[in-house]
Structure 1
Amino acid sequence: MNLSLEEARTLVTAALKAAGAGPLMAASTARALVLAESQGQGGHGLSRVGQYATHLRNGRVNGSAQATVVRRKGGALLVDAQEGLAFPACDLAMTEAVALARTQGVALVGVMNSHHCGVVVDHLRAVADAGMVGLGLANSPAAMPAAGGKHAIFGTNPIAAVFPRRDADPLLIDLSLSEVARGKVMLAAKKGEPIPAGWALDAQGQPTTDAHAALAGSMLPLGAASSPKGAMLALMVELLVTALIGANFGFEADSFFVDEGNRPHLGQLFIVVDPGALAGQNGYFDRIEVLLSEMLTDEGVRLPGARREVAHRHAEAHGLEVADAVVASLKALANG
Structure 2
Amino acid sequence: MNLTYSQMHDLAEAGLRASGIGSKAANETAQFLALAELDGLSSHGLARVAQYAAHAKNGRIELDPKMKVRPFKTAAALVDACDGLAFPALRFATDLSVNLASKNGLGLVAVNNSHHFGVAGHYVEAAARAGYISLLFGNTPAAMPMVGGTRAIFGTNPLAAAFPIGSVDPLVIDMSLSAVARGKLLISAKNGQSIPEGWALTAQGKPTTDPQEGLKGLMVPLGGDKGALLALIVELLVVGLSGSRFSYEADSFFDAKGNRPRIGQLILTIDPGLSGPSIFASRMSDLLQTLAEDSGTRPPGQRRFKQRAMGLENGVTVSDVVVEEIQTGIRQLWTK
- Which residue type is aligned with residue 264 of structure 1? P
TM-score, length of structure 2 as denominator length: 0.92
Displacement of 1:182: 2.7
| CA offset digits 1:264-320 (Å, max 9, x no partner) | 0010100000112x0234221111010111122112101111111011111111222
- Which residue type is aligned with residue 105 of structure 1? G
Conserved? CA contact 1:143–1:156, under 8 Å: yes
Worse overlay, 252-261 or 122-131: 122-131
Displacement of 1:78: 0.4
For residue 203 of structure 1, what is the aligned residue in structure 2? Answer: 203
For residue 259 of structure 1, what is the aligned residue in structure 2? Answer: 256
Residues 4-23 of structure 1 mapped to structure 2, 5 A cutoff? 4-23=4-23
1:286 to 282, 294, 303: 282
Displacement of 1:27: 0.9
Displacement of 1:8: 1.7
State how far apart, in whole Å, the 2-side matches of 1:183 and 1:323 are: 14
1:25/1:194 Cα in 2 relative to 1: closer, same or farther (>3 Å)?
Answer: closer
1:219/1:324 Cα in 2 relative to 1: closer, same or farther (>3 Å)?
Answer: closer
Secondary structure, in 3 states, of the residue corresponding to 1:233?
A: helix
State how far apart, in whole Å, the 2-side matches of 1:5 and 1:36 are: 10
Worse overlay, 117-126 or 176-185: 176-185
Displacement of 1:129: 2.0
Worse overlay, 286-295 or 80-89: 286-295
Conserved? CA contact 1:11–1:334, under 8 Å: no
State how far apart, in whole Å, the 2-side matches of 1:287 and 1:118 are: 31
Structure 2 unaligned regions, length at least 5: none
For residue 313 of structure 2, what is the aligned residue in structure 1? Answer: 317
Residues 1-336 of structure 1 mapped to structure 2, 5 A cutoff? 1-186=1-186, 191=192, 193=194, 195-196=196-197, 198-204=198-204, 206-211=205-210, 212-224=212-224, 228-276=225-273, 278-335=274-331, 336=334
State how far apart, in whole Å, the 1-side matches of 2:142 and 2:82 are: 21
TM-score, length of structure 1 as denominator length: 0.92
Conserved? CA contact 1:185–1:195, under 8 Å: no
Conserved? CA contact 2:129–2:169, under 8 Å: no
Secondary structure, in 3 states, of the residue corresponding to 2:79?
A: strand
1:10/1:183 Cα in 2 relative to 1: closer, same or farther (>3 Å)?
Answer: closer
Secondary structure, in 3 states, of the residue corresponding to 1:124?
A: helix
Secondary structure, in 3 states, of the residue corresponding to 1:229?
A: helix
Secondary structure, in 3 states, of the residue corresponding to 1:153?
A: strand
Displacement of 1:214: 3.5
